[in-house]
A and B are shown apart, each in its own frame.
Chain A
């Protein structure tokens, strides 16, 4: 049984070493803490954030420049800890990190049995994330920090589960609003055939229907050959349609082929989605709204610019830290309630306050549209209205969730 308040005990920090392999982190963020009976401000209190992640190799066919950095996500997490602990220094708390690498030798079951309570950040694939959601008890506060899958938001509405990662429907709506703004009314949709792409394509079709954008043709990427030499012959053929389109949407979450398309389509039209004009929670070129300082701190920690995955990790940590600032004696349940409440608002370099949707715990945030070297736009676009907040024009609507 969960008693709410537990005596403070300091956890030993055991940081498992990162593999040196060039791998992508997958993650769900889970933070566990021990709740003190005394005020955090009076004595130094320690909160442990547990980080469940796995390593995923990038396919060899993906050019190095398009591969995710080795410490993708972790860099944001570390900067989040650093920022939060600077505040903690004045408030008398400290947040520490315990990493749990999920692999063949260490299962999610084992990890959760080692985490009696507290916040857990999860950066894992969809199946694994679901498993964490199922196994998590009321003493865990689970934050998905790296998975965009629709079903994780659509089917799970437990009060202690949150997502700082934007969902596929949010990403798709952000793109769709930009297409509407630019009066690009018809598209060619090209996607890969893997599971992630299928999920993203479903979200994009939902958006296109919402905004009445026509699909001129839909094509699957099935090339298995190396196109480096025949790019200029093959891509125009693939993108040739009887009727012209205003834009090509490419859905390629793994980054295996999307980069072939810009400037190579049969009609000279913009490419958007996983290549060309992309959408994410963050990009290295963002410097507005004080973001330059955040980028500088990530540079110092990781020697590179901040990615979207870094950002979602960062935001998860500072959201928890903000809860501690509000009340250092929060229990898991109280923290969950606070994060979902209208009292919670987070300043996170987006030019407006962020909050969580109470129903499914999804972080509301503006999303950036950018090309490789600069920001193009930010959605929600002006004119897309919502009775609660314009940010809710992005993503699943309440009647699509937990029905």
Chain B
């Protein structure tokens, strides 16, 4: 799983497989309303520090060697470059207005960000810290994903209800697919053949065939005793080492566990309130969820699908990624 894709949703998967499984790990969580990062030690599940960053931090990813992180400070209208060793903001990337999510190209040189207020996707060259181009997309672009081979970028637009397919070599939008209402997160499978997209208000998870952009499968979710309108799929992670996917279901306060071999929803795990984004640690033994309304992070054992601990963080945790020490 070396150097695969990276989005705000799944950035923890970036961690190189060379690292020891026993290595100490830290989870970094962006707190949308505290303008800070909470750092959780995954050995004892405690918050070891809270670091102030820009306004309304949301999307968060590490670079490949995890020495730097990129933070979407949405209300500061910039992407901040965070030095992990010193906990300092050491620079900024030009992002356009209101960057919400970011994705790093597998080449490590290009960063993509969705400008929610401007219906634009901004392509940024990291080395020169310049905007390469801006691409017109639908209203309120949100979820971003780069295919494992780096050839395709997709962005979802919440109010246009579309997945926009973009060729990364030409930066041209070559196809658009309609999905359920308010699409949020997108993620490619590790072989790059499928794209998984959640629709928050539509209550769906759509699986596309990447080659043809056709719909292969649509999941809908049912939780006993819960009105279907409250089941709102948002963040997704796909395990690389097992046939398992996890889907955060927003205000239903549950995470769905999907068996990707037979495409069956196996279980719903109760977590904190308004579960938003998800991340796995390096050996995929732990799943972390940001729970916006209850301002905590649920740490789940992926084998048993049980919550090990809920950790209180700052206000409105949004993004999460795991770093190995």
With A296-B117, A347-B200, A352-B229 in contact, do A86 and B139 touch (Cβ < 8 Å)? yes
CB pair A87 B201 closer than 8 Å = no
Residues of A within 8 A of B139 (CB): 83, 86-87
User: Is A347 a contact of B159 with CB atoms below 8 Å?
Assistant: yes
Complex contact A293–B160 (CB within 8 A):
no
Say whether B224 faces chain A, with CB atoms less than 8 Å apart.
Answer: no
Contact partner, B119, options A86, A353, A389, A390, Cβ 8 Å? A86
Which of B181, B203, B251 counts the most chain A CB atoms within 10 A? B181
Provide the residues of chain A in CB contact with B136, threshold 8 Å.
89
CB distance from A329 to the nearest CB of B (A): 15
Nearest CB of chain B from residue A247's CB, rounded to whole Å = 28
Kindly state the separation between the CA atoms of A345 and B138 in the bound complex, as whole angstroms: 19
CA–CA, A318 to B138, complex, Å?
A: 14
Given known A87-B139, A89-B136, A90-B176, contact A353–B164 (CB-CB < 8 A): no
Give the residue among A91, A325, A347, A390 with the most B Cβ atoms within 10 A: A347
Question: Quick one: CB contact mask for A135-152 with B, threshold 8 Å, 1 for yes?
Answer: 000000000000000000
A90 touches B162 (CB 8 A): yes
A90 to B155 Cα, complex, angstroms: 14
Contact of B158 among A90, A290, A296, A325 (CB under 8 A): A290
A347 touches B117 (CB 8 A): no
Instruction: Assess whether B202 is in contact with A297, with CB atoms less than 8 Å apart.
Output: no
Residues from 141 to 181 in B contacting A, C-beta threshold 8 Å = 157-162, 164, 173, 176, 178, 181
Chain A residue nearest in CB terms to B180: A345
B140 lies within 8 A of chain A by Cβ: yes
State whether the Cβ of A346 lies closer than 8 Å to any Cβ in chain B. yes
Q: How large is the interface on A (under 10, 10 to 19, 20 to 34, 35 or more residues)?
A: 20 to 34
| Contact residue among A90, A351, A352, A389 (Cβ-Cβ distance under 8 Å from B138) | A90
* A90-B229 CB under 8 A given contacts A347-B202, A353-B181: no
Partner of A86, one of B160, B181, B230, B251: B160
The residue in B160, B176, B202 that gathers the most chain A C-beta atoms within 10 A of its C-beta is B160
**CB-nearest residue of chain A relative to B250?**
A351
Q: Does B116 contact A (CB under 8 A)?
A: yes
**CB pair B230 A352 closer than 8 Å:** yes
Which residues of chain B come closer than 8 Å to A87, judged between CB atoms? 138-139, 157, 159-162
- Bound Cα distance A322, B159 (Å): 10
Contact present for A345 and B227 (CB under 8 Å): no
B182 in complex: contacting residue of A91, A347, A389, CB < 8 Å: A347
In the bound complex, how far is the Cα of B230 from the Cα of A347, in angstroms?
A: 13
- Residues 98 to 130 of chain B near chain A (Cβ within 8 Å): 98, 116-117, 119
B158 engages A389 (CB within 8 Å): no
Kindly state the separation between the CA atoms of A347 and B202 in the bound complex, as whole angstroms. Answer: 8
Q: How far is the CA of A290 from the CA of B162 in the complex (A)?
A: 17
Closest to B97 in A: A296
What residues of B have a CB within 8 angstroms of the CB of A346 in the complex?
Answer: 181, 201
Residue numbers in A under 8 Å from B182 (CB-CB): 290, 347
Name the residue on B nearest A82 (C-beta).
B139
B116 lies within 8 A of A325 (CB): no
With a cutoff of 8 Å between Cβ atoms, the chain A residues found around residue B119 in the complex are 86
Nearest-neighbour CB distance to chain B for A30, whole angstroms, equals 23
- Asked if residues B181 and A389 are in contact (CB atoms below 8 Å), the reply is no
Chain B residues within an 8 Å CB radius of A325? 161, 178
Contact (Cβ within 8 A) B227 A83: no
Given contacts A83-B159, A87-B161, A90-B164, contact A293 B181 (CB under 8 A): no
CA distance A90 to B160 in the complex (A): 9
Closest to A386 in B: B227
A351 / chain B contacts, CB cutoff of 8 Å: 251
Residues of chain A within 8 A of B176, CB atoms compared = 90-91
Q: Which of B164, B200, B227 contacts A389 (CB 8 A)?
A: B227
Contact bitstring A302-346, B, C-beta under 8 A = 1, else 0: 000000000000000010001001000000000000000000011
Chain A 342-368 residues near chain B, CB threshold 8 A? 345-347, 351-353
Which residue, A90, A345, A389, A390, has most C-beta atoms of chain B within 10 A? Answer: A90
**In the complex, residue of chain A having the shortest beta-carbon distance to the beta carbon of B293:** A288
Contact B201 A86 (CB under 8 A): no
Q: B: which residues have CB within 8 A of A?
A: 98, 116-117, 119, 136, 138-140, 157-162, 164, 173, 176, 178, 181-182, 200-203, 227, 229-230, 232, 251
Q: What are 30 A-B interface contacts by the 8 Å CB criterion?
A: A83-B160, A86-B139, A86-B159, A87-B159, A87-B160, A87-B161, A90-B138, A90-B164, A90-B173, A90-B176, A290-B158, A293-B98, A293-B116, A293-B117, A296-B117, A318-B159, A322-B161, A325-B161, A345-B201, A346-B201, A347-B158, A347-B161, A347-B181, A352-B229, A352-B230, A353-B181, A353-B201, A353-B202, A353-B203, A353-B229
Known A90-B162, A91-B176, A352-B230; 10 more pairs at CB < 8 Å? A86-B139, A87-B138, A87-B162, A90-B138, A90-B176, A296-B98, A318-B159, A347-B181, A389-B227, A389-B229
